[in-house]
Amino acid sequence: MSNDTYKTISQQSEGLYKEKGSKFITYAYPVSTEEEIKEHIAKLKKEYYDARHHCYAYMLGADKKNFRANDDGEPSSTAGKPILGQILSNDLTNILIVVVRYFGGTKLGASGLIHAYKTAAADAISNAEILDKTVNDIYDVHFDYLVMNEIMKIIKDEQPEQLGQDFNLTCKITLSIRQSEVERLIQKFEKITSVKAEYIRTT
């Protein structure tokens, strides 16, 4: 895979693992910001307010540099790390996995906990649809009415995703362009008189 592609899940999925009376309920979510992650965790803590632990791990970004594992009171590295390990071994990113544990009265020990959280996370991933996605840059392309046909021809030929358009005194089209295509496509636009391409963000 080129460096502007990544794998994630298409929508929320769930998993379940039971061991010696303990129940491990798993939720996996596609996410793109830490704000989304906080919201999902807060919602689960509210819904499963009587559970003993809400352990989680997440990975963000195509470069996989933003990640975290949280044991939420379980012995160190017995919960968050095994969950994160499943994210890594499946080569996923932009994903949050939360495992909600109801304690069954029998301690599982460190190795038992690691196995339980790993298996619970794996179950949610196996129930998810995995998507290959591209890293895209969002650009606003500003231009005059006079060059509308030239701009539209490039868009028709290259087929970047159109996110919006605004045709008032001057024209603006918002495009989502695959990162590996950005330089070539922006050069095409900027060869046209009056055209200015403005980078907005990366998705």
Q: What pLDDT score does 136 carry? A: 93
Q: How far is CA 182 from CA 49, 133, 203, in A?
A: 47, 16, 13
**51 secondary structure, DSSP code:** -
- pLDDT tens-place string over residues 70-93: 999 999 999 999 999 999 999 999
Q: Which residues contact 161 (CB under 8 A, 6 or more apart)?
A: 136, 175, 176, 177
Q: What pLDDT score does 1 carry? A: 41
Give the start-to-end residue ranges of the domains of the chain: 5-132, 135-202
**92 secondary structure, DSSP code:** B
Instruction: Write down the pTM of the prediction.
Output: 0.82
Q: How far is CA 133 from CA 28, 51, 111, in A?
A: 17, 35, 35
What CATH number belongs to 5-132?
3.30.230.30
Q: What pLDDT score does 174 carry? A: 97
* Below-50 pLDDT ranges, the chain: 1
**108 secondary structure, DSSP code:** -
Q: How far is CA 8 from CA 16, 32, 95, 100, 110, in A?
A: 20, 10, 7, 21, 29
What CA–CA distance (Å, rounded) separates 124 from 126?
6
Q: What pLDDT score does 2 carry? A: 54
Please give the CATH topology (third level) of the domain spanning 135-202.
Alpha-Beta Plaits (3.30.70)
What CA–CA distance (Å, rounded) separates 117 from 83?
6
Task: Give yes or no for a contact between 11 and 131, defined as CB atoms under 8 angstroms apart.
Answer: no
Q: Which two tokens stand for residue 110?
A: 């460190």
